[in-house]
Structure 1
Amino acid sequence: MSSPIEGTPIDGNAESKNDTTDALPGGMTRNHSNAARVARMPTEWNAFEYNMRHKKRGMAIIFNHEHFDISSLNSRTGTNVDCENLRHTLETLQFDVVVHKDLSEADIHQEIRKIANSDHSEHDCLLISILSHGELGYIYAKDTHYRLENIWKYFTAPECPTLAGKPKLFFIQACQGDRSEGNNTLSRTETDSSDDKSKECKIPIHADFLIAYSTIPGFYSWRNTNKGSWFVQCLCLELKQSAKKHDILTLLTFVCQRVAKDIDFESNSNDNPIKKQIPCITTMLTRQLWFYEK
């Protein structure tokens, strides 16, 4: 029987050794101040949808962590499957994808600052995905942990004006704690079968962010060592099948549904009760987001 921190019960029809989690120990934070700047509004003020008809879709950055210099952290077998699946999926959506493997905290922040200082004027949006170990509020680089807010703070409107008013999407595959999500049985029901008069607009500096976590705060996130994590498997499947049919929040609702309901995404063993997982979506989007074909 595996240790609680590794969590290796059966992932549906897979063998118990194929599932593991992305949990681990705490960290520190840094303060950061934002200076006000004026940015060009990329979308009509009263528009229901984001302007996704710029020249380019935008940058998609994947920080993939498999091996660590920290003795308490196991290698994340299966993360390269996630990374390749995500890379291919995002390329089909016309993102310019860049993958970084096993970077240190300093190198991650160097890359993030470089991206934030780039000109995104001709881009629809920005997407960043982090695949790593984590715990509540923290995620691991190769050498140490850091707060997730230390990544997205660089893309607020004052810090990155050419992304102001544009979607900033973050997909986080990592544990947010060391608790396992249980399950509950539900019985079936009998019925189953305005004019804009202002030339200048003010928006909150944290508007237009979407952060999709693989699990809820305090809980494990499961990863199959052969097929990749439950969350990334479902995310890529929905993006491939539904990105042209649904807005991003509807699509992510279906991702949550797949992770929560699909029998392939539950841990099971003779020694432990079935464990489930549910992703957690934090949205500050102010419009609908559609991935229209370019």
Structure 2
Amino acid sequence: MSGTGAQSKSKTDSPMEYQMNHKRRGLALIFNQEKLQDLTERHDTNKDRDNLTERLQDLGFEVKLHNDKNKEEMLKEMHKVAAANHTDADCFVCIFLTCGEEGQINTSNDSIKIKEITDLFRGDQCKSLVGKPKIFIFQAFAGNKLEAAVTGMMAGDTDEEVEEAANIYTIPAGADFLMCYSVAEESGSFYIQDLCETLQQHGSTMEFTELLTLVNLKVSRHNIKLRGGEMQKIQMPYFTSMLTKKLYFRSKK
């Protein structure tokens, strides 16, 4: 028993890993937009919200849900959280289940630039999260943004696709950010479903960016039959890591 405990502590204290031995795992915000300013409704989003809540709670997060917030309400909450004291927390997670395009996400009455949100958590703005992982997940339906299914080639390999992705999403400057993006289809998100399944299976044992890579693989294997059955396409998520160490969510028990 003592040898196992010593080995676990040694892994946690590794200089190559983020310290995840604070009093709290940290706060996880989920902004769930079922209804948007153009009166459209995002079906199945509440199921994604509930699945994410369960998985994050399993990892020890304090989850706070925000449903159908307008721009002012969302920004007020983000400013409040950025100004809070996270000294005793391991990290911070923020998830948006919504629509969006061109570096923006939609609320119930307007859109917000992604940069306006992430800038609040830079080191000079949120000092108690300096050196800690700040994870942002954007599931944002943006029309027909599915990739053509091809054999022997991963979606996103071409210069044109990379340039298009860069125009849609904004990457924050500064260390210790992890940005995850998924263009969700109208009938629900394979990405969130596969993310929740993978978190359930490997969330407390697998290094987190490796886990996200496994999620990408799972999502890439989903085929979607379009109307008329003429073509099949896939949804290809991606993530951009500015993490400086390995990230594990080992159990605190």
Shared topology, TM-score over 0.5?
A: yes
State whether residues 136 and 175 of structure 1, in contact with CA within 8 Å, keep that contact through their aligned partners in structure 2: no
Distance in structure 1 (CA, Å) of the matches to 2:152 and 2:20: 40
Is 1:239 the equivalent of 2:199? Answer: yes
Give the aligned partner of residue 235 of structure 2.
Answer: 277
Aligned to 2:27: 59
- 3-state SS, counterpart of residue 92 of structure 2: strand
Candidates 108, 117, 122, aligned match of 2:88: 122
Q: Match of 2:90, SS?
A: strand
Q: Which residue of 1 aligns with 2:250?
A: 292
The structural deviation recorded for 1:292 is 1.1
- State how 1:199-214 maps to structure 2 within 5 Å: 206-214=174-182
Residue 211 (structure 2) aligns with? 251
Residue identity in the other structure for 1:127: V
Contact persistence 2:205–2:250 (CA under 8 A): no
Tell me how far apart the structure 2 counterparts of residues 86 and 177 of structure 1 sit (CA, whole Å).
Answer: 23
Q: Which residue of 2 aligns with 1:166?
A: 132
Q: Report the 3-state secondary structure (helix = DSSP H, G, I; strand = E; otherwise coil) of the residue aligned with 2:22.
A: coil
CA contact (8 A) 1:169 1:210 kept: yes
Return 5+ residue gaps in structure 1 as ranges. Answer: 1-42, 188-203, 216-220
Picking from 105, 114, 129, the partner of 2:71 is 105
Q: 1:104 to 1:145 in 2, by over 3 A?
A: same
Q: Residue 80 of structure 1 aligns with which residue?
A: 46
User: Which string of whole-angstrom CA distances, capped at 9 and with x for unpartnered residues, describes residues 103-122 of structure 1?
Assistant: 01010010001101111000
Contact kept in structure 2, 1:267 and 1:276, CA below 8 Å? no
Deviations 1:255-274 (A, max 9, x none): 00000014xx5334434410
The RMSD of aligned alpha carbons is 2.1
CA distance in 2, matches of 1:270, 1:222: 17
Q: Deviations over 1:164-193 (max 9, x none)?
A: 000000111003564431011249xxxxxx
1:226-250 per-residue CA deviation (whole Å, 9 max, x = no partner) reads xx41110011111111112211110
Aligned counterpart for 1:95 among listed residues 61, 65, 79 = 61
Which residue of the partner structure matches residue 260 of structure 1? Answer: 220
Contact 1:157–1:205 at 8 Å: present in 2 too? Answer: no
Partners of 2:102 and 2:110 in 1: how far apart?
15
Q: What runs of 5+ residues in structure 2 fail to find an aligned partner? A: 1-11, 154-171
SS of residue matched to 2:146: coil
**Distance (Å, rounded) in 2 between the aligned partners of 1:145 and 1:54:** 35
1:275, distance to aligned residue in structure 2 (A): 1.1
* 1:23 alignment counterpart: none
Residue equivalent to 2:161:
none
Map Cα deviations across residues 10-29 of structure 1 (whole Å, 9 max, x no partner).
Answer: xxxxxxxxxxxxxxxxxxxx
Q: Which residue identity lines up with residue 70 of structure 1 in the other structure?
A: D
Distance, in Å, in 1 between the alignment partners of 2:205 and 2:229 is 42
Q: Percent identity?
A: 35
- Structure number with higher helix proportion: 2
SS class of match (2:141): coil
Which residue matches 1:3? none
Q: How many residues align?
A: 223
CA contact (8 A) 2:146 2:236 kept: no
| Moved segments of 4+, more than 4 Å | none
Q: Which has the larger radius of gyration?
A: 1
